[in-house]
Structure 1
Amino acid sequence: MARSTSVRTYSRYSLQALSLLGALLRAARIERKLGAAPLAERVGISRDMLYRIEKGDPRCEIGVVFELAAILGVPLFEPELGALQQRSREVEDRLALLPRAVHAPRGEVKDDF
């Protein structure tokens, strides 16, 4: 039985953002004089995975990328934990005002009696 393989595509914006994040992580690693192997071991990934993250590979696990950023001190949203927690509360308050689910429109309403 033939297996269907689909290739995931990413927007130019996403690829550029991933490339920028990877470069920021690599620069932070080099500035801190951290070798790839010891850092990868600390994060719990292979050196190859670290290099893929630094090159902006979109298939890398987001949790690993965030952990790497935290270890290297590269802020993703807010530079300090307190500010990040405040921002999280603001978004949670906003979400509390929005509907829990989004449903597709049911179709056109015919109101021409």
Structure 2
Amino acid sequence: MNSKKAIVLPKYFKIFEQIGENIKLARKRRKLTAEQVSERAGIHRATLYRMEKGDPSVAIGLYFNVFRVFNLQDDFLKLGLDDKFGRKLQDLNLL
């Protein structure tokens, strides 16, 4: 099966790097090892390493599993929540 590599523009890669840093900090705050988090999330240790480095090719479901380990799964509900541009477009159609 062919897997496609995620293409992310360099200016947006910093977002993934920040998410990776947030994951690493959450793990360290809880004094969990990478092995503990990987096992609890059901992923390989190398995948967690890639996530902590901000690799955009890691599946979003795996990110969710790691956030769940930290009890941060509700943060996923915030993705795309504040769609200011979409609401402006919708309001224009209402005029």
TM norm structure 1: 0.58
Partner in structure 1 of residue 27 of structure 2: 29
State the percentage of identical aligned residues. 31
Which structure 2 residues correspond to residues 1-113 of structure 1 after superposition, within 5 A?
9-74=7-72, 75-78=75-78
Kindly state the Cα deviation for residue 27 of structure 1 after the two structures are TM-superposed: 0.2
Larger Rg: 1
Code of the aligned partner of 2:22: L
What CA RMSD, in Å, does the superposition of the two structures yield over aligned residues? 3.0
Code of the aligned partner of 1:47: R
Q: Deviation string for 1:27-59 (max 9, x for gaps)?
A: 000010000011101111111100000000011
How has the CA–CA distance of structure 1 residues 71 and 7 changed in structure 2, closer, same or farther, with 3 Å as cutoff? closer
Mapped partners of 1:40, 1:34: distance in 2: 10
Unaligned runs of 5+ in 1: 1-5, 79-83, 99-113
Kindly state the Cα deviation for residue 73 of structure 1 after the two structures are TM-superposed: 3.6
Kindly state the Cα deviation for residue 72 of structure 1 after the two structures are TM-superposed: 1.4
Mapped partners of 1:8, 1:62: distance in 2: 12
Structure 1 outlier segments of 4+, above 4 Å: none
How has the CA–CA distance of structure 1 residues 62 and 24 changed in structure 2, closer, same or farther, with 3 Å as cutoff? same
Contact 2:6 2:57 (8 Å CA) reproduced: no
Code of the aligned partner of 2:17: S
Unaligned runs of 5+ in 2: 91-95
Aligned residues: 80
TM norm structure 2: 0.67
Higher helix proportion, which one?
A: 2
